[in-house]
Chains A and B, each alone.
Chain A
Amino acid sequence: MTERLSTLLHTEAERLEVPAPPAAEVISRGHGLRRRRRLATGVACVAAVAVVTVGTGYAVSRIGEDGGGRAVQPAGPSTGHGAVFTIGTTVYWDGGTEHTRIDDKAIKSTYYTSAGLLVRHGNNNASDGGGPQRFSLVTEDGTVHPVSVVTEEVVPGVDPTQPYLAYAEVVDGQVQVVVHDVATDEEVARWPVADAESWGGWTAPPVALNGDTVYVGTDDVMRTVDWRTGEVGTTDNLPPGYPDVKGGRAVARSGGQATVIDAASGKVLLSVDAGRFGYLFLSPDGRFATMDSADGKSVDVYDVDAGTHIALDGHSYGYGWSPDGDLFRVQGDHVITCSTSTAECTTGTTTIPQEGGGVAPKDLRYGNQTFES
């Protein structure tokens, strides 16, 4: 029995000198987190399940149950996976110390969500033109949960602070935006997007998800859908076409400058001399942006808020971002982690098990990094 241990723990705890609570500092940090998360507003004063119907669309909200039964609560921007990558059909997380296998022919890409790592897989590792795109959720204990969504040639969107997968599909000639809760494996919203008539070469417009907003990349203008209410709008803050919004931020080009902008306000947060071809790539949480050098031999990593940067060898796609915002790459059978403040890189001691698997067993892909779509 452990009553004695319990008693001793309580006795020692009571003897501790407890410092004064820094309430103001806590609230200040809380304000900062709230701004970063841009989470749902105006949905809590509802009973257990609320169904909102507008036109031919709907949204279902489960209050206080973000993440649902199989999600690790509480949800947050970090799934705790540490460095996440895939080789073949094997998913590695926690810096390569943990791994599990996806039961399919190949992994196409992975996405960070608050419910775990969402894996997109199918008959081959192509993002475009590769046939059905199936999804599975890998939770922190390594369990693989099939997700009932199957897409084909679309660009989905996730927000790492939420358990949702957003995508668009065309139903009877009409573009619809769909939001699927991957934790509960339930569709929670489906809204029509009127006047969405042309877009890039996918079967439906590419989308990005940030908080309550689904950005829909159409050719004439960037459309927005509030997936909680179904309200459709447009924004001039982002250029039309491909929506690349991460952590509420997006990248753009203006003249010879590459910029990171706040998607909601259009405010320029970072401006970098980009020459003719330079382009910024955002980290999953939008806190960092990378730009490759013209000769392709180094990559600058910018802290968007601080405006500072470091330089690393290689190129942007040679590095992955962990859900916690740490840079890493895989070399041989080791994970190398690089500091975004000092550029110091450290080779991990863990030897990555060589599992591979599938039709492309040596295909290395970093977490939350997508290629063509």
Chain B
Amino acid sequence: MARTSVTDDEFTEFVHAAWPSLYRTAYLMLGEHQLAEDLVQTALAKTYASWHKVREPAAAPAYARVVLANTAASWFRRRSWRNEPPTEVLPERVGEHDPSTRPAVLDALRALAPRQRAVVVLRYYDDLGVRDVAQALGISEGTVKSQTSEALARLRTLLGDAVVPMTEGARHD
């Protein structure tokens, strides 16, 4: 049985528990602290306002994550986001420095278009399946697959086969 409302104390507790994980997802998606904070705040505020849709408290973190992705997707559709060019100065190829260093990985993410970045983060950081990513971002499963494929191909050129191996699984999953 679900509850229609949540008290402010209960929701405060939820915010404290969910914030770190959501913030990390948001930062990986957006690559900027202030934007990440704003995105998580917005997502949690929407979750609060839509609490009646949360079937049970245990489902709230997952619900909030979907709200976050959905909100990010709506941001990406705005003109300013659509016009955001991927980073023009790309990190150097693997082999010239350690691909596991922070700048290499985060810079490589910045080299992706916003929606590709979101797809990669949701799939390989939050471990969501194709269908869940499609629902969260409001796009088709086919688009998730094609965006994943393109993103991985680009990441492969930046980070090398050791990080993103050339496999059929990676190309089509």
Chain A interfacial positions (CB closer than 8 Å to B): 1-2, 4-6, 8-16, 18-19, 21-27, 29-34, 37, 39-45, 47, 63-64, 66, 72-76, 78, 80, 82, 94-95, 97, 140-141, 324, 337, 346, 348
Task: Judge whether B1 and A5 touch: CB under 8 Å.
Answer: no
Task: Judge whether A12 and B79 touch: CB under 8 Å.
Answer: no
Q: Determine whether B50 belongs to the interface, using a CB cutoff of 8 Å to chain A.
A: yes
Task: Judge whether A74 and B100 touch: CB under 8 Å.
Answer: no
Task: Judge whether A141 and B139 touch: CB under 8 Å.
Answer: yes
How far apart are the CA atoms of A346 and B42 in the complex, in Å?
27
How far apart are the CA atoms of A80 and B28 in the complex, in Å?
22
Task: Judge whether A26 and B24 touch: CB under 8 Å.
Answer: no
Partner of B2, one of A32, A64, A75, A141: A64
Task: Judge whether B4 and A44 touch: CB under 8 Å.
Answer: yes
- With a cutoff of 8 Å between Cβ atoms, the chain B residues found around residue A47 in the complex are 1
Q: Which label, helix, strand, loop or mixed, suits the secondary structure of the B interface?
A: helix
Q: Which of B99-141 contact A (CB under 8 A)?
A: 99-100, 102, 105-106, 120-121, 124-125, 127, 135, 138-140
How far apart are the CA atoms of A234 and B65 in the complex, in Å?
41
Task: Judge whether B11 and A30 touch: CB under 8 Å.
Answer: yes
Task: Judge whether B41 and A5 touch: CB under 8 Å.
Answer: no
How far apart are the CA atoms of A6 and B135 in the complex, in Å?
21
Q: Distance in Å from the Cβ of A27 to the closest Cβ of chain B? A: 5
- Name 8 interchain pairs, CB-CB below 8 A, sorted by A: A2-B164, A8-B163, A21-B19, A75-B53, A94-B77, A95-B82, A141-B139, A141-B140
Partner of B170, one of A1, A14, A66: A1
Q: Distance in Å from the Cβ of B75 to the closest Cβ of chain A? A: 10
Task: Judge whether A19 and B170 touch: CB under 8 Å.
Answer: no
- With a cutoff of 8 Å between Cβ atoms, the chain B residues found around residue A42 in the complex are 4
Q: Distance in Å from the Cβ of A92 to the closest Cβ of chain B? A: 14
By size class, the interface of chain B is 35 or more
Q: Determine whether B15 belongs to the interface, using a CB cutoff of 8 Å to chain A.
A: yes
Task: Judge whether A44 and B3 touch: CB under 8 Å.
Answer: yes
- With a cutoff of 8 Å between Cβ atoms, the chain B residues found around residue A44 in the complex are 2-4, 52
Task: Judge whether A18 and B19 touch: CB under 8 Å.
Answer: yes
Q: Which of B140-158 contact A (CB under 8 A)?
A: 140, 143, 152, 155
Known: A1-B169, A23-B15, A141-B140. A74 touches B50 (CB 8 A): yes
Q: Determine whether B46 belongs to the interface, using a CB cutoff of 8 Å to chain A.
A: yes
Q: Determine whether B60 belongs to the interface, using a CB cutoff of 8 Å to chain A.
A: no
- With a cutoff of 8 Å between Cβ atoms, the chain B residues found around residue A1 in the complex are 165, 167, 169-170
How far apart are the CA atoms of A9 and B33 in the complex, in Å?
16
Task: Judge whether A26 and B70 touch: CB under 8 Å.
Answer: no
Q: Distance in Å from the Cβ of B162 to the closest Cβ of chain A? A: 7
Known: A18-B24, A64-B53, A78-B74. A33 touches B48 (CB 8 A): yes
- With a cutoff of 8 Å between Cβ atoms, the chain A residues found around residue B48 in the complex are 26-27, 29-31, 33-34
Chain B interfacial positions (CB closer than 8 Å to A): 1-4, 8, 11-12, 15-16, 19-20, 23-25, 27-28, 33, 37, 41-42, 44-50, 52-55, 63, 66-67, 70, 73-74, 77-79, 82, 99-100, 102, 105-106, 120-121, 124-125, 127, 135, 138-140, 143, 152, 155, 159, 162-165, 167, 169-170, 173
Task: Judge whether A82 and B1 touch: CB under 8 Å.
Answer: no
Known: A45-B1, A45-B4. A74 touches B105 (CB 8 A): no
Task: Judge whether A26 and B164 touch: CB under 8 Å.
Answer: no
Task: Judge whether B152 and A2 touch: CB under 8 Å.
Answer: yes
Task: Judge whether B53 and A27 touch: CB under 8 Å.
Answer: no
How far apart are the CA atoms of A26 and B13 in the complex, in Å?
12
Known: A4-B162, A9-B125, A13-B28. A74 touches B63 (CB 8 A): yes
Task: Judge whether B100 and A11 touch: CB under 8 Å.
Answer: yes
How far apart are the CA atoms of A34 and B4 in the complex, in Å?
13
Task: Judge whether A4 and B12 touch: CB under 8 Å.
Answer: no
Task: Judge whether B23 and A16 touch: CB under 8 Å.
Answer: yes
20 additional A-B pairs beyond A21-B19, A23-B11, A23-B16, beta carbons within 8 Å, are A1-B167, A5-B124, A5-B155, A8-B99, A8-B105, A16-B23, A21-B15, A22-B41, A30-B44, A30-B45, A32-B45, A34-B48, A39-B52, A41-B52, A44-B2, A44-B4, A64-B55, A72-B70, A76-B70, A141-B139
How far apart are the CA atoms of A252 and B152 in the complex, in Å?
56
- With a cutoff of 8 Å between Cβ atoms, the chain A residues found around residue B23 in the complex are 16, 18-19
Interface centre among B2, B3, B15, B52 (most CB of A within 10 A): B52
Known: A11-B100, A23-B15. A30 touches B49 (CB 8 A): yes
